[in-house]
Structure 1
Amino acid sequence: MTAAPVGQLAIALSALLAITLATLTLARVDVRRDAVVAVARAAVQLTVVALLIGWVFRHPGATALYLALMLGAATWTSMRRIGLGPTSFAPLLLAICAGATAAIVPVLASGALPTRAETVVPFSAQIIGGAMTAASLTGGRLRDDVTAEWGIVEGWLALGATPRAAVAVQARRAVARSLVPALDQTRNAGIVVLPGAFVGLLLGGASPAEAAQVQLLVLVGLLAAESVAAVVTASLLAGRVGAKRPGADRA
């Protein structure tokens, strides 16, 4: 599939953004500025990333460095989303790395995907993104539930439970809820939606069978990565959020 002419692409993007802004205006939802900024950032970032990935494809030795930068950005994003402060960076980095490694290593070691930069980078990027999402959702839900149920947690602490044990119920709930998007996406693949990798491969000229095989690999890889990332996130953050009510320093 060849890229659309710049003029046609600009018309399509402008129409889509106009629909977004008109809908938000009619609904009186005040996030129009955020929508415009998000689109502008996406355009700039995707242009930069396209140039960077093109360079990585020409210099395969830089693949590891690029993925390391991606891991750092993913961890920073999760840290800001969860809102537990800079000291949560290391635990989240470990959680995201653990999730990504658990999914990427078996796939490449088995030979299910060729170990070329053109394959490793896009597959790893999706897996890292999924692990980041799971870490963010788990940490955020754990923080919110502990805050809302602090009276229960405090009761367990008063009975002599460790901070980690005092929030065990909230931690398990946070992991379960964080995996809902991945489970739903896997369960409904091809029925409710056609996932991105599948559509991309079809547009790129792959056969439906080939696209389905790769998409299944991505979906199960995401499920593995997100499961590991969510469990590790809950395990590493439980002691911290159970020791003191989240946000107490800012109260």
Structure 2
Amino acid sequence: MTLGSSDNLLVGKNNASKTLNFFSPTGGRLEIKQNERVLVSRNIESGQQSIGYDEFPTGIYNVTISVTQGNSVSVFEVRQVVNTSQFDLAVKDWDYQVQLGYLDTDVSKLNLGVDISGDPVKSVEFEESSRYFGRASSTYRIEENLMVGTGVTGNNDDIQLQVATKLAVGDWGYGEVTLSHLNSGGYSQYASLKVSPFFASYSQNDFDVEESNLAHLLYGKQSTTEWSLG
């Protein structure tokens, strides 16, 4: 079961909830261009203007905003547009989700030594109730190109705290970092960087399955470190 703010309940409408805002001291002809490509062209009245992101193509790029009246230019600005699924909130807006669920992940068979009778122990033992979990998370878009988030996930055995940030740089770079810490002492971290046309990512999970069945259910049977380049 998932509960969320109204933005989370939008289906196919996220782009319409985001807007490019600017003020025009005069009426006239508005043009918004990506390089030489005209994205928006229409007559406007003077005052505050809001252009929905559903009028823009997806991607991260710069646009020029101009308002002309005859030979007079009343507005000329260069703005960055970050119109991707990773940045699905309006600037200065926040979102939240609350989840209750059941983790049906298979419990991995492990070689954990021997028990007090000398018999081999091949799996992590925990109560079925440990599969039930709760999660609460929140995200805030600070600027057009910057988002931050935090979350907490827990069951009857352990609690995981998480923080994350996403940053877009110009129309050529994008980075993301997620850090998680388990109350039992384990942690996970993920970082990715895209500098067009190259991409790199790094992830690490470090935990003890005997100390945290939550980590076992979320990440698998053992600690891992992975690199990816492309």
TM-score by shorter chain over 0.5: no
TM-score, scaled to structure 1: 0.23
Higher strand share: 2
Q: Scaled by the length of structure 2, what TM-score is found?
A: 0.25
More helix by share: 1
Higher relative contact order (CA 8 A, sep 6+): 1
